[in-house]
Amino acid sequence: MPHITIKMLKGRTDEQKKVAAEKVSNALIEAIGCTPNHISVSVEDYTPQEWQDVFKKEVTENPSLIQKPNYDPKDMLK
């Protein structure tokens, strides 16, 4: 453990997702000193409409959130 979930808008390639997973894993290895054998990564794709509900639950209403984004997800719907 740890398990990382990357949530992003649909449209990125499998290769882009693989690179993102590798880079996030490497950053976590450096930050907390775990080994690559303990890390798992999943990628979840969303449409801008789907992201509205996920953003509310995962960001707005998440008491464990450490870093807040500086954008309004409704802007994605325009």
Catalytic hit among 2, 36, 48, 73: 2
The answer to whether residue 2 is catalytic is yes
Q: Which residues of 18-37 are buried (b: 16+ CB within 10 A; e: fewer)?
A: eebbeeebeebeeeeeeeee
Region of residue 11 (left: phi > 0; alpha: psi -120 to 50; beta: else):
left
Let me know how long the chain is. 78
Q: Which residues participate in catalysis according to the annotation?
A: 2
